[in-house]
A and B are shown apart, each in its own frame.
Chain A
Amino acid sequence: MGLQAYLILAATVFCIGLFGVVTRRNTIGILLGIELMLNAVNINLIAFSHFNGSTTGMIFTLFTICITVSEAAIGLALVILLFRVRRTVMADHLDLLKG
């Protein structure tokens, strides 16, 4: 199993996450997709770190995980607030920017 396999896995996870972000109607689902995309990045960082023999990637991954958690917390808080105001969390109802 070389670096390539990890990269393919990361790309696959990233694409699944992106697909979720683009297609999910529920805002919470979109947040989940974003989590997947971030985790794909983490896989990449770990893989390069392992194969390059450098710990920098690992350290970075720890940072990313922390930030991902806070991002998820803020995101969920936003969704709850959004629900309070609009009584919905469906993304295609949130089209105030429609031209």
Chain B
Amino acid sequence: MMSDPGSLALVSLLLPAISFLILGVVSPLRRLGRPAAYMSILFAAGSLAAAIGAWRGHAEGQVTRLAWEWLPSNGASIATVGILADRDSTLMLILVALVAFLVQLYSVEYLHDEPPAALGRYYTYHSLFAFSMMGVVLAPNLLQLFICWELVGLCSFLLIGFWYQKPEAARAAVKAFWTTKAGDVGLLIGIVLLWRVTGTFDLGELKAMVTSGALPAEGLSLITFCIYLGAVGKSAQFPLHTWLPDAMEGPTPVSALIHAATMVTAGVYLLHRTVFLFPPDVLMVVAWIGAFTALLAAVLACVQDDIKRVLAYSTVSQLGYMMAAIGAGFSAAGFFHLITHGLFKALLFLGAGAVIHAVHSNDLPHMGGLAKKMPQTAMVFVIGTLSLAGIPLFGGFLSKEEILGATLAGHQTGPFVLLMVVAFLTAFYMFRVVFLAFYATPAAAGHYVNAGAAVGATHASPAHGHDVSHAPHDPPAVMMLPLWILALLSLGVGIYSTLTSHFLQFPAEAGAEHAAPGWLTPAAVGVAIAGIGLAWLVYQRRTIDAGKLAAVFGPIRTAALHKFWIDDFYEGILALALLAFSRIVGWLDRYLVDGVLNVVSAWTVSAGNLLRTVQTGRAQDYVYGVAVGLLILLLWIRWALA
């Protein structure tokens, strides 16, 4: 039983759930901190092993469905609960389990200053997250997927707000929750509408209906658009992308796991799983919005000084890439990029975490010349950056190129052009980070300051409790190990896919079906290298003055520094709408609801006042009452009953 791949997938799903339940219920263990962490890591390792086993059993295209009846009604059941393990879901399962395991391992050292109770809480949330995310990945039907989808949203909220004493973190957590919730409402509506039309939540049955043509075409655009809305929220697509950069208030390992590698890619994964439903007009929207998001976020990433925010916008941008591929009709290419991106973006975030851990600041001007002090971190970070830039032999090369090829093959010329620009910008802003943080001299790094942060100020805030004189250095082995594993995996995937032109079983439905034009590879690599070159000239050699470069793009830069006023716009609209709404509700409450109650209570009071005069407190009056009452009673008996 335990050895067949389907059960292994189930084991992989349930191990984090067990860990969560133990940590959640046995609070003394949770409050111990470190032991709780070790237990959670142990379960995560087991989950990873089971996920790898499950994938090996499904790599050749086998499909396992385990389903139990759920929500029985009139003998039939409205929905089932279970798992659907196939090639894609088990591959994604490995990604989730792997990054979850590495991040949990890394966090032990990264959060070593946290009080034990907080550490236990952190690992409890992490276990819940791993379970929920695997639930999304393995869900055989949309209802179960939605439940797990909401659970990952909850975990994201809890972990962004992990340092809830910080007002910005609490605000960011609430913002992330509400913004994604706006999309989730769309998803729920979409799922229910789909159920009304088809009577099923099951992905397999839906696919069968599409293949047999039993699915009515009318209304499908609306339904799939609603489903897409859920993905817009979760995967931070324009216009709901604003929560992801703010989510960086959470601990860096959380950003690596949830806001880079796994949860934010759930939207892409959802579309990948349901893409057979999507009519061309909706796919067109998906492609355009994806490409536009990619461009917008890439521009924003160029002006950020906070290393995590650069990575956050980069994530938004790459998610836009994946969406564009799905919109072009080649969801496998998007999914492929999802996997490679998960590896190298987690690597970049954890690398950034190591840097932040060493210099106690998120700001690029506070860094510089770190390559000498932390050579290993610099090395893995550069590997991650080259992967992201799409350089051959590195992780993101083939997947990125397949996306570009996919948009061409899908005749989405507009998105293709946008994505080429983004490829250039991606290389530029990532190498800006690399040069400013690792290679340029610290003074030079401070040469180009947006936020106006005081350069050369003490890096460590006294409250942090660290030795200020402590020079930055590579993190301890327990943090370095996850970085190297991810770096080697990025490199391995990159080398393998570059040499064989396909990745595992992605001989690419993308790559084979559309013959990418011969100029694509040189062009894509060319723009990436151009981006790197520009960054080198500006930030390393300083042949081109950064100020002059900024002046050339004056208005765009100003707009980007204000995040294109999108956040302000939301705050304005929301504040106005909320204020107007609460005024109306306040008036209704004060004058309508309260009015009715006040009248009723006033009547009661005056009636009581009237009645209390009867109670004089003098025994004689009561005797009088008794006598008169008796008299009346007697007369009544005499006359009425006689």
Residues of chain A touching chain B, judged by Cβ–Cβ distance below 8 Å, are 18, 21-24, 30, 91-92, 94-99
6 closest A-B pairs by beta carbon, nearest first, are A99-B615, A98-B617, A95-B617, A97-B617, A99-B612, A22-B624
Q: Tally the A-B contacts, defined by beta carbons under 8 Å.
A: 36
Could you list 29 A-B pairs, sorted by A, with CB under 8 Å?
A: A18-B623, A21-B620, A21-B623, A22-B620, A22-B624, A22-B627, A23-B620, A24-B620, A30-B620, A91-B618, A91-B619, A91-B620, A94-B617, A94-B618, A94-B619, A95-B616, A95-B617, A95-B618, A96-B617, A97-B615, A97-B617, A97-B618, A97-B619, A98-B616, A98-B617, A98-B618, A99-B612, A99-B614, A99-B617
Cross-interface CB contact of A98 among B615, B620, B623, cutoff 8 Å: B615
Provide the bound-state CA to CA distance between A24 and B624, in Å.
12
B620: which A residues are within 8 A, CB to CB? Answer: 21-24, 30, 91-92
Number of B residues near A (Cβ < 8 Å) is 11
In the complex, the chain B residue whose C-beta lies closest to that of A98 is: B617
CB distance from A68 to the nearest CB of B (A): 18
A18: which B residues are within 8 A, CB to CB? Answer: 623, 627
In the complex, the chain B residue whose C-beta lies closest to that of A34 is: B623
A95: which B residues are within 8 A, CB to CB? Answer: 616-618
CB distance from A36 to the nearest CB of B (A): 14
In the complex, the chain B residue whose C-beta lies closest to that of A23 is: B620
Provide the bound-state CA to CA distance between A96 and B617, in Å.
6
CB distance from A25 to the nearest CB of B (A): 9
CB distance from B624 to the nearest CB of A (A): 5
A21: which B residues are within 8 A, CB to CB? Answer: 620, 623
Provide the bound-state CA to CA distance between A2 and B617, in Å.
43
- The listed residue with most A CB atoms (<10 A of its CB), out of B616, B619, B627, is B619
Residues of B596-630 at the interface with A, using a CB-CB cut-off of 8 Å, are 612, 614-620, 623-624, 627
A94: which B residues are within 8 A, CB to CB? Answer: 617-619
Provide the bound-state CA to CA distance between A94 and B624, in Å.
16
In the complex, the chain A residue whose C-beta lies closest to that of B611 is: A99
A96: which B residues are within 8 A, CB to CB? Answer: 617
Provide the bound-state CA to CA distance between A23 and B623, in Å.
10
B624: which A residues are within 8 A, CB to CB? Answer: 22
Provide the bound-state CA to CA distance between A23 and B612, in Å.
22
B617: which A residues are within 8 A, CB to CB? Answer: 94-99
CB distance from B265 to the nearest CB of A (A): 73
CB distance from A10 to the nearest CB of B (A): 16
CB distance from A1 to the nearest CB of B (A): 26
CB distance from B398 to the nearest CB of A (A): 90
CB distance from B623 to the nearest CB of A (A): 6
Per-residue interface assignment for chain B, residues 217 to 238, with 1 indicating a CB less than 8 Å from any chain A CB and 0 otherwise: 0000000000000000000000
Provide the bound-state CA to CA distance between A15 and B461, in Å.
97
- The listed residue with most B CB atoms (<10 A of its CB), out of A21, A30, A99, is A99
B615: which A residues are within 8 A, CB to CB? Answer: 97-99
A98: which B residues are within 8 A, CB to CB? Answer: 615-618
